[in-house]
Chains A and B, each alone.
Chain A
Amino acid sequence: MKRVYVNEKWCLGCRLCEYNCAFANSGMTDMVKALNNVTINPRIKVEKANGISFAVQCRHCKDPICVRACIAGALHLDEDGVIRIDDTKCVGCHSCVMACPYGAIMPSQKGVMQKCELCLQNSSKEPACVKGCPNHAIVYEER
């Protein structure tokens, strides 16, 4: 299956991926309206230190600990290999935050959890972070 992979040496740390993620998942059609004066809460997060930067989001593990740790049966490893969250079942207990070795699950504005679902079900249809990355520091491919 195709996943998002990081080429750290190309990352400029510009955080465009974070903005594109937030917009793609906002459900809105106008980027300015979606992001203007909003503190964005993206599902991809850029780590930066000492001149190094890279983006981190869900790795879509084949044997996901987050899914096993979910007390609500809200996280699923779907047949297409994507790990999705049913936010109507999530109670916000943070067990997935406790379990994810990448630190890639975080609370949404609604107080339940959110994570990268590869944009397959939003209007972007493919990872918006990758589409908008100016330097191919993240790629969406089979490895």
Chain B
Amino acid sequence: MSDYVIIGNSIAAIGTIEGIRKVDTTGTITVIGNENHFVYGRPLISYMLMGKTTLEKMNYRDLSFYDDNKVETILGVEVTAIDKDKKQVALSNGSTVSYKKLMLATGSRPFLPPMKGIELVEKKTSFMTIDDALKLDSMINSESNVLVVGAGLIGLKCVEGILSKVKSITVIDLANRVLPSILDEKGSDLVKASLEKKGVKFILGESIAEFTSAATATTTQGKELSFDTLVTAVGVRPNTQLFQAIGGQVNRGIVVDTLGKTSIEDIYAGGDCAECFDISCDTQRIVAILPNAYFQGRAAGISMAGGEEPFDQAMPMNSIGFFDLHIITAGSYIGDKDIVLDDENNYKVLFTKDNKLVGFIMIGDVQRAGIYTSLIRNKTPLDSIDYTLVREHPQLMAFTLKDRQEKLGRSH
């Protein structure tokens, strides 16, 4: 029996724990996670492979975190079912844990479309977890020819992680450009060109028709590929199964309100398994990014413990680098598109709608990008600031004297 039971031991779970403890310092908390690791920054797995961090430094919180917060952990164990009437969860080790409040922080899992002959490939992995990264590291060496299926964020971060360790990397994607979820066409071209300069090969607008052996494949347009290691990074699916099985409301992700409440009493959800209201385009959707997982978890934790601090500022934002090229994007690419900067190494586009900034893409020079992010988040009317100034460079000078005094002359 635990007052609070959390399924999943990642970012949303940590937000939940910190949220609960803000309100309730004594209630018992149990976290059940099927990855047998101390909580780590999931996005760090590629940085670990390229040597920018180490396994020992990837812990997302101090090693005393669970003790400090009086959290019992059950790791390496999966929750197999929820009984909402008895208010308990069943575990893969045969035991059960009862709860007063339950948090679903189950994240997402790799999605693999059926690919003919994939069972022939021996050296293959997805790229979502520390264990995936360690497995990949053990499969590759300086002679490896790696095939990455998927030119999205996860596929390309994987490429960055291992490029210096292997002989060649080929990336294939059905989309005709890289990072289509966060870049426009010009942005995609710039990033693709910079990766090509580093030696990455791309096959775009095509997919794998068939794996013809453990080391060969043909593409939909008949190209023959040879490789020895396969990384699949096609997409992810939210882990909503447990909740769906008990009749909970699920669209693409678990439906929650800004307090993290689901359609079932005493069950909460947040992070990559849940939807949220994206304020940059007024749409209910999954925003699968780390800050969102933290904020949704925290709001849920606070309300589980009886408090109320809604998280109502969700929107996509990504900061992703490939070698020395930085990319920061946020919001939605709707409304008027204004290309402010477009040269060989830099690209900047602002999207405005109804007198507001609703989205931006910055590649290369990303200094002070957060000022743009805050304009989106706060829905700042653009006629209340010096838009000409801020359009050129994100800067506080663009705000009125009164706003500047508020920002720089008060505690926040």
**Closest B residue, CB atoms, query A61:** B412
Give chain B residues whose Cβ lies under 8 Å from the Cβ of A3.
411
Residues of B with C-beta under 8 A to A88: 57
B156 interface residue (CB < 8 Å to A): no
A: number of interface residues (CB 8 Å): 40
Contact flags (1/0) for A11-28 with B, using CB distance below 8 Å?
A: 000000000000000000
Give B40 Cβ to nearest chain A Cβ, in Å.
8
Do residues B405 and A8 form an inter-chain contact, with CB atoms below 8 A?
yes
B43's partner among A71, A98, A103 (CB-CB below 8 A) is A71
Alpha-carbon gap, A62 to B332, bound state (A):
28
Whether a CB of chain A sits under 8 angstroms from the CB of B52 is: yes
Measured between C-beta atoms, what is the minimum distance from A71 to chain B in Å? 4
Residue A136 at the chain B interface, CB threshold 8 Å:
no
| Interface residue? B321 (CB, 8 A) | yes
Q: Which residues of B contact A97 (CB under 8 A)?
A: 319, 328, 366-370
Residue of A at shortest CB range from B65?
A: A73
B contacts with A, residue count (CB < 8 A): 48
Inter-chain contacts of A91 with B (CB < 8 A)? 44, 47, 52-53
Does residue A31 face the partner (Cβ distance < 8 Å to B)?
no
Q: Which residues of A contact B198 (CB under 8 A)?
A: none
Which residue of chain A is the closest to B43 with respect to CB atoms? A71
CA distance A103 to B106 in the complex (A): 33
Cβ-based interface call for A84 (8 A): no
Taking CB atoms, residues of chain A closer than 8 Å to B294 are 68
Q: What 8 A-B pairs are tightest by C-beta distance, nearest first?
A: A103-B368, A101-B374, A100-B370, A6-B408, A73-B60, A98-B319, A71-B43, A91-B47
Q: 10 extra interchain contacts, Cβ-Cβ under 8 A, other than A66-B370, A91-B44, A101-B370?
A: A49-B389, A56-B408, A59-B411, A71-B42, A71-B44, A97-B328, A97-B369, A98-B328, A100-B370, A143-B409
